[in-house]
Structure 1
Amino acid sequence: MKRIGVFTSGGDSPGMNACIRAVVRASIYHNVEIFGIKRGYNGMINGEIFQMESTSVSNIIQKGGTILKSARSKEFLTKEGRKKAYEQLQKHGIEGLVAIGGNGTFTGASIFYEEYGIPILGAPGTIDNDLYGTDYTIGYDTAVNTALDAIDKIRDTADSHERLFFVEVMGRDSGYIAIPCAIGGGAEVAMIPEQLTSIESVIESLSVGRNRFKTSFVIVIAEGEKEGNSTIIARKVAEALPNMDMRVTILGHVQRGGSPTASDRMLASQLGIACVEGLINGRANEMAGIINSELTFTPFIDTITKKKVINPTYTRMVSILSV
């Protein structure tokens, strides 16, 4: 393999730049030409492809976001769009791809590989940590620490005003951000998509807390919680407990930004190198990940279709520690 392309796709996550850097420098180390593809599959279709050098990735390891930009591509969902992308890769002589992204990115990569046979390896870049085949995804640790820092500040004002705060964190289908934030932030309740937490049980927890003379409360809610978003849940609780002073805080996209933690930089660097060396060694249609501190490769089809479950010990910890 003489030429590799690298791109980022889907939602951005802290550490993507560190992964791009690792892909570029690992390629150069192995005497492989490396090309950056801007704006994900859209850029691939439109030919936004350029050769990268070692200096192309200087001074980016500490930066959030992605220097290659990211976009979601409706055109790539069509056969015509994928044909254009393939023709652009052929035009530049690119023989393999490193895709940095999440579930949607790898779904597109798997279809593209089946149709055109271009070897693709994926590096899991998503703050949600919901991809099967790796213990942690690039950006997850940073997102949790960003959210936890905000919750610590909210806890201060909750305590000062004797209030109940509903804090909504990201996680449309996953509670992986909510659970450590609830444990680390001393929350009374964590509400996540994987486990139904009824409004009645929330009200009971708050009532028990007040009977134990607690005066402030924090409830962490993943945005995909089955009872609804934080505003809906707060309204339902307020109807049952009208005398409680309540506020809602939605952390939103602040969780995606910022300088990546040391853990995310290490993970991104390790997986970026693994993807390059995997392509050189003939691997394809797989995601690189770390399980129990060991490098693994998981077929895209498993990453896409298999559910990554939350350890029930963690949800139990929230209940125990909120007493």
Structure 2
Amino acid sequence: MLDLVINARQASISAGFDVKRILPFRERRMVGPFIFMDHAGPVRVPATQLQSLDVLPHPHIGLSTVSYLFGGQVMHRDSLGVEQIIRPGEVNWMTAGSGIAHSERFEDPATLAGGQLEMIQTWVALPEADEETAPTFTNYQPHELPIFTEPGVWMRLIAGDAYGLRNGVQTHSPLFYLHVVLQPGTRFGLPQGHPERGAYVAKGQIEVAGHFYSAGQLLVFTPGQDPVIIARETTTLMLLGGEQLGPRFIWWNFVSSRKERIEQAKADWAAGRIALPPTDNHEFIPLPQDKSRPASSASAAPEPLS
């Protein structure tokens, strides 16, 4: 019923910003097309340290980044010239394709009030035919993301299709991604029609087949099985999965079906051939001094930054 349980590990995405890293994992690089997942927060630092959380401009290729907030707000700037604040209930969907650079800044001191800053970022690998597509960015507002409720269940469809819900979020392959809140005692099933499915426990505790799982754990389910999830307390889940795209190489912030493409991206960033955001171009994250080769989706890889 369960292929694997992944326990989040601590990772650093900036000098003062540690996160819980879920994907990639040495024994399971992807769930459907999802190749990366970070859970940041709740963040509790003095307002005077707000700038230390900033993620400086950095590059991506071959993927879409998906940012979703539980609390607080983040300022996104990218090399397309986009400046967009993301708030809870919205989705920032950035498709890197052939190459993009972006930053994530925490500029509003109110963001840290009461430790409310909390976000999930995932990366979705692109099909081979779309890996070199032109980069794009779209912010989706809450009214564009359908919500479903029934006794004990609240859910928002972030992207894809599940439980009969669909929205206009532009994806490149069949997938699903949902924010689900369950009340204590609620019994809940996984969405049908997707070969790979996972459930990340962001808050609370669930029971599956007599075993208990808590915050910071990603459950990867066996294809074809239909387990029942029971909430043992008020629980927040992120459900994700879809069709597998095939092996991918990953190094730092780069994802590709071709190892040589990642080597090219490394050279492009080091040489300044990937443009910086026009309104955030005075500093950036340099290429890591790591001499390792890109790793495939079936093997180990250097820890990426968001």
TM range (shorter): under 0.3
Structure-1-length-normalised TM-score: 0.25
Structure-2-length-normalised TM-score: 0.26
Q: Which has the higher strand share?
A: 2
Q: Which has the higher helix share?
A: 1
